[in-house]
Amino acid sequence: SPQGRSKKKSRKHQRFLERRVLLEQKGLLSPRRRQSTQIPVAGPEAHAALTKANGTTTQRSGKVPKPKRVISASLSPSASPDSIARHHSVLLSQGNGSSKVRTSSPVLRPGKYVAIDCEMVGTGPQGRLSELARCSVVNYEGDVIYDKYVQPELPIVDFRTRWSGITKQHMKRAIPFKAAQAEILKILKDKIVVGHAIHNDFQALKYFHPKDRTRDTSQIPVLKQRAGLPVRANVSLKNLARHLLHKRIQVGCKGHSSVEDAQTAMELYRLVEVQWEKELARSLPPRPPSPVTDPTADSSQYLDDQYWPTDLVSSGL
């Protein structure tokens, strides 16, 4: 009868739909596009096939949510100083400027910062040459990590005691310049070095420190602005300390203390650290990665002929 045929077709169609669903779930058949109107599927087996796939309920929507972009909150220990400044700037820019970054944050790695100050004496004709006679280095917290008297390479003509604080008595326990230079440069290696008019200290050490790792408190407009002084003026460490730190240094006739001057320079740096590093991050050009230490560098370029010995290339190997 026509009614019996329709029932057979209906059951046959149901079995077809059930098999199609199972094949789609197993990945043996590509799923077809669903129409707006759903096709009813009868029977408990079909219902189970539609609602379960590998023990989980299938989702009707084929959209996959995109993963959110996450910015790392920390830097690797091998990060370069300019990347530290840029990461610092990113942290400051988050939260519409409302987030605060502590100066003692591990992101800034305080162990990578030192402050230096040197005292010089006069050597050469009429004592016009300046040579190192004392060097002091302090850490981020202002603790002394190096403080030694240094014997200049040339005979001392002028001790400049009124400014340097160096006397003939100090030279009795001074170490040779070459030995002091080796010790100091070992401390400064891979560090961000803070100082006031620090080019004079590097000159006395006969050393050049990378610009992006140098923080000269005599060259920071932020400090001069806070002190209410002209930005282009040459401001002494003594005046900055008086205006911003409310303390007196370099007083009396016994000369300067290189330890006190180094500690003061570090205090001034920490006072404007966040703003200064943020501005440096904008101004400093990115440092190109080293082809030797960069793990992401592609080594396939070394298969080119220009990297092979001449005799191997000529032999046709």
d(CA 239, CA 203): 24
> Helix or strand or coil: residue 66?
coil
d(CA 219, CA 91): 25
**What average pLDDT does the segment 13-34 reach?**
74
pLDDT at 231: 85
Is the confidence at residue 93, as pLDDT, over 50? no
pLDDT at 1: 56
User: 117-126 burial, b for 16+ CB within 10 Å, e for fewer?
Assistant: bbbbbbbeee
Is-above-0.75 flag for pTM? no
pLDDT at 37: 45
| H or E element, residue 223 | helix 221-226
Output the six-digit token pair for 218: 């005599």
pLDDT at 12: 78
pLDDT at 302: 43
The string of pLDDT tens digits covering residues 228-251 is 888 888 899 999 999 999 998 888
Of the pLDDT bands very low, low, confident and very high (cuts 50, 70, 90), residue 72 is very low
The residues, ordered by sequence, that sit 6+ positions from 71 with a Cβ below 8 Å of its Cβ are 90, 94
CA angle 234, 235, 237 (to 5 degrees): 135
The residues, ordered by sequence, that sit 6+ positions from 153 with a Cβ below 8 Å of its Cβ are 123, 131, 177
Lowest-pLDDT choice from 117-131, 171-185, 225-239, 259-273: 225-239
pLDDT at 23: 77
Is the confidence at residue 74, as pLDDT, over 50? no
d(CA 272, CA 103): 9
Of the pLDDT bands very low, low, confident and very high (cuts 50, 70, 90), residue 45 is low
pLDDT at 237: 94
**What average pLDDT does the segment 55-63 reach?**
47
Domains of the chain and any CATH numbers: 113-283 (3.30.420.10)
User: 140-155 burial, b for 16+ CB within 10 Å, e for fewer?
Assistant: beeeeebeebbbbeee
Q: Which of the two residues, 35 and 181, has the higher pLDDT score? A: 181
The residues, ordered by sequence, that sit 6+ positions from 233 with a Cβ below 8 Å of its Cβ are 224
Is the confidence at residue 267, as pLDDT, over 60? yes
pLDDT at 41: 47
Is the confidence at residue 117, as pLDDT, over 70? yes
Provide the β-strand partners of residue 121.
Answer: 131
pLDDT at 303: 47
pLDDT at 252: 73
Lowest-pLDDT choice from 28-42, 76-90, 112-126: 76-90
pLDDT at 131: 97
Average predicted confidence (pLDDT) for the chain: 75
pLDDT at 144: 97
Q: Which of the two residues, 154 and 307, has the higher pLDDT score? A: 154
The string of pLDDT tens digits covering residues 136-163 is 999 999 999 999 999 999 999 999 998 8
Identity of the residue numbered 28: L
d(CA 198, CA 218): 8
Nearest to 127 by CA among 90, 168, 155: 155
**What average pLDDT does the segment 43-72 reach?**
47
Q: Measure CA of the first residue to CA of the last residue in the chain; give whole Å.
A: 85
CA angle 148, 152, 153 (to 5 degrees): 140
> Helix or strand or coil: residue 281?
helix
The residues, ordered by sequence, that sit 6+ positions from 254 with a Cβ below 8 Å of its Cβ are 161, 165
Of the pLDDT bands very low, low, confident and very high (cuts 50, 70, 90), residue 84 is low
Is the confidence at residue 271, as pLDDT, over 90? yes
Q: Phi first, then psi: what are they for 154, rounded to 5°? A: -105, 155
Is the confidence at residue 316, as pLDDT, over 60? no
The string of pLDDT tens digits covering residues 195-233 is 999 999 999 999 999 999 999 999 988 899 898 888 888
Q: Report strand pairing: 192-195 vs 113-123.
A: parallel
